[in-house]
Structure 1
Amino acid sequence: MRFAPGQVIIHRNTRRGRIAFARPVRVVADTELGLLVWLARHSPAMYEVAPDGRGARGRPFAEWVTLGYQMRPGEWQGPGILMFFPPEGDHSVWFFWNEAGEFDSWYVNLEEHVVRWHDEQVSGIDVVDQDLDVVVHPDHSWEWKDEDEFTERLAIPEHYWVHDEQAVRAEGRRVIKIAEAGEFPFDGTWTDFVPDPAWGVPALPEGWNRPVPA
């Protein structure tokens, strides 16, 4: 399944068959290199939250798993992000720029390999975020991110969606070697990317809550 350049699809993060978030992204390219999409600042989104309106982050995981969940509308508050999903591997690479429009860093989001789906009216991609991440700086130095959160959640395996800690860390180390060597996609490709101003901020398409593929 390939998506068309300019097409709006739904990017979803899922947890044990539940939707953690859903937001619209614009397809930049979908080739043998992988899928490249743009998430615009202020994009509308639906987020899984507890009855108090807060999400899973910023509270103990042991507390989060005892709460009920509901979906609530919101929007992406961060900067515009270019996201690259390679054809193989359990990660995506996000490209960040600062407010001056200068390339800031790559963000290796460790996640289960993307699952593509298509319904009659809408298409999308699902991932399972594995929480542990790697930040790669323009000089190809790097650092782990969210290790504390990853460790905390691993301690409650009956509720966590990550089943193999060592596989996640091994994937991170594999990508780190690519980044240190300055190989694609850490070779400067797309660091000068500028989104088409005609794209604007897309609406979240109907069908964002279709069942998570088994």
Structure 2
Amino acid sequence: MEFGAGRLILHRNVRRGRIGWVRPARVVLDDERGLLLWIAKGSPVAHEVNEVGLTMRGLPFADWITPTYQLAQVRWNGPPLLKFLPTGAAHSVWWFRDAAGRFSHWYVNLEEPGVRWDDGVVAGVDVIDQDLDVLVAADRTWQWKDEDEFVERLAFPAEYWVTDEKAVRAEGERVIALAEAGEFPFDGTWCDFTPPAEWDVPDELPPGWDRPPVR
């Protein structure tokens, strides 16, 4: 399944069969290397909250796993993002920008390889975010991110969606080695990407954004 350049699709995170978050993204390219997506600042997004409106990061995991869940629709208040999902890889790489729109750093999101779906009118890719991440600075120095949260959640195997801690860390170490060596995609590729002017920000999530996950 290949997505055409410029198509608006949905990048979704799945947690134990539930949708964790949804972000609309434009396809920059889709080839044998992987899928490159652009998420505009101010895009309509949805994320999972508990019954009092808190996100998973807003309270201890032991408290998060007990309430009922719902999806809240808001606007993406982060910077515009370029996201690359390498074919078959258990991670994605995100290009972050500063307030002036200049490349700032890479963000390695460790995740299970995405599964694509296409309903015709709406399409997307579903991943399972494994929570542990790696920040890679422009000079290719790096640090682990969210390690405390990762370790905390591993203590709840019946509720957590990560089943192999060693595999997640090994994938992170593999990507770190690429970054240290300045190999693709940490070789400057796409650091100066500018989206086409006609790529507007969607007014709302398209119908079907909350269809059942394929993961």
Matches within 5 A, 1:82-121: 82-121=82-121
Q: CA deviation at 1:161?
A: 0.3
**1:58-99: CA deviation from partner (whole Å, max 9, x where unpaired):** 210000001110111111110000000001210000001101
Q: Please, what is the CA RMSD of the aligned residues? A: 0.9
**1:29-66: CA deviation from partner (whole Å, max 9, x where unpaired):** 00112100001111101211111111101210000001
Matches within 5 A, 1:43-192: 43-192=43-192
Q: Percent identity?
A: 59
Between the two proteins, the alignment pairs up a number of residues equal to 214
Q: Structure 2: which 5+ runs fail to align?
A: none
Task: Measure, in 1, the Cα distance between the counterparts of 2:23 and 2:167.
Answer: 28
**1:167-207: CA deviation from partner (whole Å, max 9, x where unpaired):** 00000000000010000000000000111222121231111
Aligned equivalent of 2:212: 211
Task: Measure, in 2, the Cα distance between the counterparts of 1:23 and 1:205.
Answer: 11
| TM-score of the pair, normalised by structure 2 | 0.97
| TM-score of the pair, normalised by structure 1 | 0.98
Question: What secondary structure is seen at the aligned counterpart in 1 of 2:56?
Answer: coil
**1:127-173: CA deviation from partner (whole Å, max 9, x where unpaired):** 00000000011111100000000000001111000000000000000
Tell me whether 166-175 or 189-198 shows the greater mean CA deviation: 189-198
Task: Measure, in 2, the Cα distance between the counterparts of 1:4 and 1:104.
Answer: 28
Question: What secondary structure is seen at the aligned counterpart in 2 of 1:112?
Answer: strand
Q: Structure 1: which 5+ runs fail to align?
A: none
Task: Measure, in 1, the Cα distance between the counterparts of 2:22 and 2:101.
Answer: 26
Tell me whether 50-59 or 159-168 shows the greater mean CA deviation: 50-59
Task: Measure, in 2, the Cα distance between the counterparts of 1:127 and 1:16.
Answer: 11
Task: Measure, in 2, the Cα distance between the counterparts of 1:46 and 1:176.
Answer: 30
Aligned equivalent of 2:17: 17
Question: What secondary structure is seen at the aligned counterpart in 1 of 2:57?
Answer: coil
Task: Measure, in 2, the Cα distance between the counterparts of 1:100 and 1:73.
Answer: 27
